[in-house]
Amino acid sequence: MGCGSSDSEQPVIGGQDGIVRSESVAVSELLMCDDGLSNPLEIHFACQSLPNLDFGSKTDPFVILYIKEATGDGKWVEVGRTEQIRDSLNPVFVRQITIKYQFEVRQFLKVEVWDCDDPTTKNLNNQELVGICELSVAELVRTKSKTLPLTNPRVKKNGTVTLTADQIKDRLSSNIVKLQVGGSGFSRSRLMFFKLHRGSSAGSPMVPVYQSEAAKGNAAGNISWKPVRIGAAALMRDQPTWPLKLELLECVYNGDHKVVEQRNLTFNDLIDNNFVTSGGFGRLYIKGVELVHRVSFTEYLMAGTNIMMAISVDFTASNMPPTHPNSLHCLDMNKNQYIRAIHSVGGILQMYDSDKNIPVYGFGGVIPALGPHASHLFALNGNIFAPEVYTIDNVEKLYMQNLHRLSLNGPTNFAPTIKHIADMAQFYITSGQMYNYIVLMIITDGDITDMDETVDAIILCSTLPISIVIVGVGSSSFENMDILDADRGKLKSKRTGLSAARDIVQFVPLSRFASDSTELAKATLAEIPGQLTEYMSMAKVPPLAMQGPAPMGPSFSATRAAKLQQVLESRGIPGANVAALLGTTGFPVEDPVAISRAIGQPFVNPLALQ
């Protein structure tokens, strides 16, 4: 063992070899400190064309907002009320109402507009209802502003109400601190590193939030450590005067590293560049500090970013036939674990999908029309060139129908599906649809049999607008899934040596959550906000300067179908016949053999993925 500088991409503190590597213990705070799964939203209200319910004067309206979550008893809970505006049929209310928005929970709002008949009491029995409307919080976040008709069976013309949402953000918590620390006068034989500590609560010790890699002085005795990148909230708890400590340490052979200099300071000291310390080994100084605005997940959603969902289902033999009493593809929907995963996770993601057309695939199953061999990528609706199914409810129905049509086989290969989704994401980038972000949900009962190929496919996807959530059903150990999840470091290919640009996989075993579907969805979707914002930052994609969903461009599936149609027509096959093949008949897989059989002549599909 010994100390040495490290070029490893795996962040480790105090490794067994004694080497010191760069590490930020606030990585999760950096990604999620203001745009995680919970955000305060400020909602403003205005009404249009309200009915006049008063005699001798106009309606005196006010708004009551309720919220309901798909958990607990499902009751509506009052969040707040606006002020009353006298004699107005088109009121614009000043008093906004704040709610706690949670991406991973199904949340619903109910808006009631009332005519105030008795301003001395809050008792609604003394007021008159104008109208009611309901919507999901996800819908409001996606559109930012929503106008809805008010309904009341006792009033013919109820008017409308407009809700406008804004995210409440703190200036510092939406920033990232970029800090460059340098040194001079250091020996070329000694390894030096530094630590940043943040003050905790009164009387508690400081906590480390960043540790640099170990480095030696160059020929001139200078050191330039890797830049520090950390969330402002994680570094100083949103207070520029929050106490910090900077330590200079010598890396020691046995891991008992020696503190040679330390200095207490604040973030303001860093901003002012007025901190310099000089230990007995060299001089440490701040080369530069930068506060960079970080756009939040909610901001991207409000600016029109579209989360597109795709689903892939495991039809391998280890699930056991649907008629078997222990089958994971149980014919009883209430006991079927695949249905539970689709409903719990898919039900939330579809709320952010602008057209709710969900590509649904399968793998490991035998399609009778294609012979005895298993397919590693097929469309569950039988048409790989139009695999979309409208809404999760119809996805569930289609899945149950296929349990009677498909034969279970194997092996468990993820790579073909993931590569297909990579093609989809690349298509949206090249066609200018930069604000489509794909979340692929793979539901599986066992470990992967094409592990190396899957790792390479995920690494490819890590540079694309893709997240992958894997839900494990059954009682398998799922050992390979923990590797793909890469919570302990970046995923690295054994075949190419390449590492993932970012972590895009979240694995969740269904058994961990018993019958609690809400907690299952929370765990499965926990990393999506950070992964989306990390990609947008990496790709330098700012939020759209617009309100509401981004306009949809050409479809990936339709474009591939059109290209294939051109190829077939160029071979003399009548257009009507091609349209029938691609539409009514369809190809369950993008397979040259299936296409050759359908058109009655040899064919090599230039679009084939395999």
Q: Which of 253, 273, 293 is the last residue of a domain?
A: 293
Do 226 and 233 form a contact (C-beta atoms < 8 A)? Answer: no
Same domain, 276 and 194: yes
Instruction: Evaluate whether residue 156 is within a structural domain.
Output: yes
To which residue do tokens 């991207």 refer?
300
The rounded distance, in Å, linking the Cα atoms of 517 and 313 is: 19
pLDDT exceeds cutoff 70 at 32: no
Same domain, 105 and 147: yes
Same domain, 214 and 121: no
Please write the tens of the pLDDT for every residue from 415-448. 999 999 999 999 999 999 999 999 999 999 987 8
Same domain, 500 and 567: no
Instruction: Evaluate whether residue 20 is within a structural domain.
Output: no
- Give DSSP secondary structure letters for 370-411: G-SSEESSEETTS-TTS-EEESHHHHHHHHHHHTTTPEEB--
The rounded distance, in Å, linking the Cα atoms of 352 and 335 is: 27
Please write the tens of the pLDDT for every residue from 468-504. 999 999 988 788 888 898 777 789 999 999 999 999 9
- 465: domain CATH number? 3.40.50.410
Our count of domains for the chain comes to 4
- 200: domain CATH number? 2.60.40.150
Instruction: Evaluate whether residue 17 is within a structural domain.
Output: no
pLDDT of residue 51: 94
Q: Give the confidence band of 238 by pLDDT, cuts at 50, 70, 90.
A: low
Of the chain, the percentage scoring pLDDT greater than 90 comes to 43
Same domain, 89 and 121: yes
Instruction: Evaluate whether residue 14 is within a structural domain.
Output: no
pLDDT of residue 157: 86
Higher local confidence (pLDDT), 346 or 546: 346
Same domain, 348 and 322: yes
Instruction: Evaluate whether residue 5 is within a structural domain.
Output: no
Q: Where are the alpha helices (DSSP H) in 175-272?
A: 232-236, 267-271
Instruction: Evaluate whether residue 460 is within a structural domain.
Output: yes
- Sorted by sequence, the CB contacts under 8 Å of residue 161 that are 6+ apart come out as 45, 46, 47, 48, 63, 111, 113, 131, 133, 147, 148, 150
Same domain, 146 and 284: no
Higher local confidence (pLDDT), 607 or 400: 400
Please write the tens of the pLDDT for every residue from 53-111. 888 789 999 999 999 976 656 789 999 999 999 899 999 999 999 999 988 888 999 99
Among the ranges given (84-88, 290-294, 312-316, 558-562), the one the predictor scored with the smallest mean pLDDT: 290-294
The rounded distance, in Å, linking the Cα atoms of 532 and 538 is: 10
Helix and strand numbers, DSSP H then E, in the chain: 16, 27
Same domain, 265 and 153: no
Instruction: Evaluate whether residue 6 is within a structural domain.
Output: no
Same domain, 503 and 561: no
Instruction: Evaluate whether residue 230 is within a structural domain.
Output: yes
To which residue do tokens 């609706």 refer?
381
Same domain, 510 and 579: no
pLDDT of residue 276: 59
Higher local confidence (pLDDT), 473 or 209: 473
Query: Average pLDDT, whole number, for the chain?
Result: 83
Domain span at 591: 557-599
pLDDT of residue 149: 97
Q: Which of 123, 140, 167 is the last residue of a domain?
A: 167
- Mean pLDDT highest for which of 160-164, 349-353, 552-556? 160-164
pLDDT exceeds cutoff 90 at 273: no
Please write the tens of the pLDDT for every residue from 174-198. 678 888 888 888 888 888 899 888 8
Same domain, 372 and 491: yes
Please write the tens of the pLDDT for every residue from 510-534. 988 877 888 888 889 989 999 999 9
Same domain, 369 and 502: yes
Q: Which of 144, 167, 190 is the last residue of a domain?
A: 167
Q: Facing residues of 178 across strands? A: 229, 290
Q: Give the confidence band of 303 by pLDDT, cuts at 50, 70, 90.
A: confident
